[in-house]
Amino acid sequence: MTKEQIQQFSLDHAEPTWLADLRQAAFEQIDRLALPTIERVKFHRWNLGDGTIAENEALGNVPDFTSLDNNPKLVQVGTQTVLEQLPADLAQQGVVFTDLYSALELIPEIIEKHFGTAVSFDEDKLSAYNAAYFNATAVLYIPDNVVVEQPIEGIYYQDSSSPVPFNKRVLIIAGKNSQVNYLERFESLGAGGVATSANITVEVLALAGSQVKFSAIDRLGKHVTTFMNRRGRLANDASIDWALGIMNEGNVVADFDSDLIGKASHANLKVVALSSGRQVQGIDSRVTNYGPHSVGHILQHGVILERGTLTFNGIGHIIRGAKGADAQQESRVLMLSDKARSDANPILLIDENEVTAGHAASIGQVDPEDMYYLMSRGLDQATAERLVIRGFLGSVITEIPVKEVRDEMIQVIEDKLTKREYGNTR
């Protein structure tokens, strides 16, 4: 892909000068920057982007909308928007939930001000790649003092029949003293799949006093190699409660970060991950305390089946000047196979006095006594293992604030375990 082709893409979409210039600046940096560091995960030879900026010409798979409820939502397949649903009362209050180009017609100054402030294109090679090549977009804007009672859903399908890279950019702006409950789904649509890559950047700007509940379930297919970057930037007294279910089938490296810029800002990150087959997943979860009295907590639980690999890196960094800050983390992994591989790496970087910080990490297999107890009550081994896994992950899942998300995560776990058991009986 040449510089001229990116310029043509910008012209075709009537991108404002600042955005076209950003793409070009990012393109210039791709070959100069290193890959992001995900400790103890070797992903340098993965295909995480082939330098293509293109759109899906035709949809090979179209979702069935008959089961969708009436919540505000945006549904996209590949680069195409197929459903927008926003109640009139929210639109009248200034809420925007649409693709980037439509949002630029409605709130151009707001997008220009905030786009790229949580994730800068010059951080690393994959961030630069996303800024240069993103071809699918979504923007959610909640104005100051607006409280959205209903969950807002973003449903983003990767078309498994298309070779077009899934380069996604999502921008969420929660205005001052606003409240929003956002549910995000990334999912491959269709059986099988053409081998491709996904490079996804999600920026969440929580302005002063805002409260964001962010829940996500990732279910991209085995044919998709994924880099996922979710980043929150929090102002004074703002909060983000993250609840993330990493249930992809293909190889994944992910960065889940919260930058606590403001005084008394608060980020609470909960991650559930499941690796199976020969899948490799590397997950960095980081909270950086810049503001005094800011609080950042990380809770990660993962399960590995068969020959899967799962790495949790928990990083808490308290910057000089963040007096009274609190950084806590816990990472635990349960292995159900002696061929599974795992790491749980706690990292604390403390540059200030008068702070609180702590960590816990563990890796282990199913307790034989738990299995013995359950099987002595008449349960077969597969059912007993399923109950142990449910109990292990349940301590995280029960903390997720949205019941529908909890139920869906449980169902995804059940589906994966059932598939495993069926495969073992063949």
pLDDT digits (tens, 9 = 90+) for 338-371: 899 999 999 999 999 999 999 999 999 888 888 8
List the single range of 121-135, 187-201, 203-217, 256-270 with lowest mean pLDDT. Answer: 187-201
Compare 374 and 209 and report the one with higher pLDDT: 209
Residue 221 has pLDDT above 50, yes or no: yes
Give pLDDT, residue 57.
63
Averaged pLDDT score across all residues of the chain: 91
Give pLDDT, residue 413.
83
Give pLDDT, residue 271.
95
User: Residues 124, 36: contact at Cβ < 8 Å?
Assistant: yes
Other beta carbons less than 10 A from residue 34's beta carbon: 10
Residue 423 has pLDDT above 90, yes or no: no
Residue 416 has pLDDT above 90, yes or no: no
The rounded percent of the chain whose pLDDT value lies above 90 is 75
Kindly indicate the confidence band of residue 3, based on its pLDDT and cuts at 50, 70 and 90.
confident
Give per-residue pLDDT as tens, 283-311.
999 999 999 999 999 999 999 988 999 99
List the single range of 51-60, 86-95, 101-110 with lowest mean pLDDT. Answer: 51-60
Give pLDDT, residue 425.
41
What kind and span of H or E run contains 127?
helix 125-133
Could you tell me the residue ranges of all domains in the chain? 3-262
Give pLDDT, residue 383.
86
Compare 123 and 398 and report the one with higher pLDDT: 123
Distance CA 308, CA 337 (A): 9
Give pLDDT, residue 66.
64
* Three-state DSSP class for residue 164: coil
Give per-residue pLDDT as tens, 30-40.
999 999 999 99
Residue 420 has pLDDT above 70, yes or no: no
For the residues 253-267, what does the mean pLDDT come to? 98
Distance CA 170, CA 138 (A): 5
For the residues 166-172, what does the mean pLDDT come to? 97
Report the residue count for the chain. Answer: 426
Residue 392 has pLDDT above 80, yes or no: yes
User: Residues 207, 176: contact at Cβ < 8 Å?
Assistant: yes
For the residues 228-242, what does the mean pLDDT come to? 98
For the residues 87-92, what does the mean pLDDT come to? 96
Give pLDDT, residue 422.
47
Contacts of 292 (CB under 8 A, 6+ apart): 263, 264, 321, 322, 323, 324, 325
Residue 421 has pLDDT above 60, yes or no: no
